[in-house]
Structure 1
Amino acid sequence: MITREEVLKFGLSFQNTYEEKPFHDQNWQLVRVKGSRKAFLWIYDRNGYVNLNVKADPEWRDFWRSAYEAVTAGYHQNKEHWNTLILDGSIPDKDIKRMIAESYDLVTDSPTKRIYEAVKKIPKGRVATYGKVAEMAGNPRMSRAVGNALHKNPDPDHIPCYRVVNSKGELAGAFAFGGEEVQRKLLEADGIEVVNGKVDLKKYGL
């Protein structure tokens, strides 16, 4: 992800977002959230590279700056709350997407954010259904949104989406991070028995 077009497309994939070019300088593109009009992604060219400004949680701000030389304090923005990503090819796509997603979550009280927080609460050795995660996230009717959010999981190492199964305890045939077999192995590593692609919800369900 090193072109403006790729970044803009990803930024606009989040719910209720739109592009704006607020300055006379066409170099600057912003992606804002409808309603609040808060910007979570700034796109511009500088010194031969596409640059992005994204909002950063203080707990992660310095981590990203230390992890990649191409992540610096926010250019022309509050350096306590914003980072600049220089797209020189040194930052993996997955981390670029994760930082953009974190920025979006910081400026919204998004269902996606609540879903991820709910999934983080599923303990090792247990599973939850899509419906249960939706309930934990505050809206029992958004089971489909749970599936969509987990398919875009920006941080599977810390958001254990493999612990989510359907209402029958069945594993996801289209598990986003490697398929049903990978999900089975991850669950078994948690101490959960999987039989014929299913988990006993009475035994392991929340």
Structure 2
Amino acid sequence: LREGQKKHGISWRLIPCFLRHLSEEEARKTWRELLPYREHFSAVGLDSSEKGNPPSKFAGVFSEVRAAGLPAVAHAGEEGPAAYIREAIDVLKAVRIDHGVRCREDPGLVGELARDRVPLTVCPLSNVKLCVFKNLSEHPLKELLRAGVNVSVNSDDPAFFGGLLETWLACVRELGLGEEDLAQLARNSFAGSFLPEEEKRKWIQKIDRLAGVSV
């Protein structure tokens, strides 16, 4: 990874994840194995099947994660309900929500996400292929963006769902995203990252210049 960054100028961050379909004790075992390497991680996440596996199931191990100085991120509100998003934020203290598209079922939650600028890493093509939505035209990406939510466009797993460029092009075509929408999505992607604040500002200012915004 370091060699790749040096050669290609592409930065990277590592976020190991607990599998929520397993027990919290299994997550603790994983955490103990990760601890010696924690300086290499930007955060610790929660993923895998949401159904029957609420974020609160892992409250204890994420308390240990936070005590070690690492923030939490969590898949929530994809196949699981909007309530899981609240639970991830309130119980796990997640600073970023992966997916999160079912927040639209709770207008109050949408308002809170927008107010607090909680990043949602939205994966539109994945959502369609996994039948979260029947087709891309039903996807709430544009709706959430216009509501002021800090949404970004992501590929999820490119080998299965298509790459990032393919996802952006599909969203432009099916959701009618304009240039300012694309610029804001790009800004959000940096704002929701774990880059140092100075790096975030540098890249967001570059987006502003490309978009013709005075900086």
Q: TM-score when scaled to structure 1?
A: 0.30
Larger strand proportion of the pair: 1
